[in-house]
Amino acid sequence: MNLHIKKRIVCAMSGGVDSSVSAALLKKKGYEVIGCFMRNWEKHEDDDSTTKCTSDKDLEDAIYVSNQLNIRLHIVDFIKDYWTKVFEPFLDDYQHGLTPNPDILCNKYVKFDSLFKYCQERLDTTYLATGHYAQVKQDKQGIKYYYKLMRGYDMKKDQSFFLCHLEKSVLPFIEFPIGGMMKSDVKRLANELNLERISQKTESMGLCFIGKRKFSSFISQYISDNIGHIKSIETNEIIGEHYGLHRYTIGQRITPINKQHKSSKPLFIAKKDLINNIIYAAPGTNHPALFTKSFDTDIPHWINEIPCLLKETSQYQCDFRFQHKHRPLPVMLSLTAKNTLHVSLPIPIRAICPGQYAVFYNENEVLGAARIIDSGTSLYDLQWTEPLISSDLILNMC
């Protein structure tokens, strides 16, 4: 990093320990650090939550840290951008029976687009840092240099999954100061900086706009309930009713309302029929109807270029994750005539949900991602008879 060129840098500050230590490390390296606190959400008239969004408390903490580190803090309003580019697509996906990932969209459209442009236009710098557990590395290909997005050093905290839709044009201007550190070392450093108040905070989980509410209660404020039938995946019999497809996701346990048949096992969602407003449920958490050995995606986003082998032979073996806490799993990608992907899995995977993202890796490098559009033929439809165990047990192994 050439400091005489990149002397000024903006650090996105959330009031948490990761962004706070990131700002401190940048200052220690000699940067002129400008803090930026992003307001992305405000309570709306149709939001009947009694749970206060943590944003106000987070702002207090960001101000406290900026004072401790003696850096300027800007408060930036991206509420409109978040609403139109993240939240409205989030609602639209649920209305169409999909399971979205708003964190990926927030990074793509708000943090590394709207905030990045704000740095250029208002703060006279093109350099942006965040507290993500990820890394950017420079590599050489022939006579040209290019930048790669890499997993964080702390594999348990790695957040590269949520950065899978970054554009290669922003990588040379991004810093992840704690990407090469363990979380335990980040907290220790915060204490050494007299930021115990921040290091002892409970880590934020989930989405701010939902807070501590049940997801079903939250989503029903924006999408009206639409009662429909729950049918048995095995017999096609009606076994009860549901409140609306938007409340549920593939693999989730479901308790029918107006139950018409008793089941000896808990019921789990195997399939959703959007046209007829029907949920098909399977008895038991490891029923073959919940598993697949392949799925299809839309046109992928590659951070740099499409892998040469995939381009030349339409086949490419790499690793993938569809949930950020899962360890990468080797898969075979097949490029279709429409430039979409067919993904073949080495083991049956439970609850592949349309709307989620498949993120692809070459060892620790993030290659890109593609949105899942079809979860493939279930093992039940393939008349699978072998015993199954939850793939989470395998994917969560370190």
List, by residue number, the catalytic residues: 106, 208
Half-sphere exposure for 49 (CA within 13 Å, toward CB): 23
The structure tokens listed for 396 are 């969560």
Give residues with Cβ within 8 angstroms of 65, minimum separation 6: 13, 15, 20, 23, 35, 195, 198
Cβ atoms of 373 and 302 within 8 Å: the answer is no
Which of 6, 301, 4, 304 is closest to 129 using CA atoms? 6
47 alpha carbon, distance to own chain's centre: 24
Cβ-contact 14, 37 below 8 angstroms: yes
User: Could you tell me the CA-to-CA distances from 232 to 237, 260, 264 in Å, in that order?
Assistant: 5, 11, 13
The DSSP symbol for 328 reads P
**Distance (Å) of CA 78 to CA 36, 40, 41, 389:** 12, 5, 8, 44
Q: From CA 113, how far away is CA 344, in angstroms rounded?
A: 33
Site of tokens 């996701």: 249
Contacts of 296 (CB under 8 A, 6+ apart): 340, 341, 342, 343, 372, 373, 374, 376
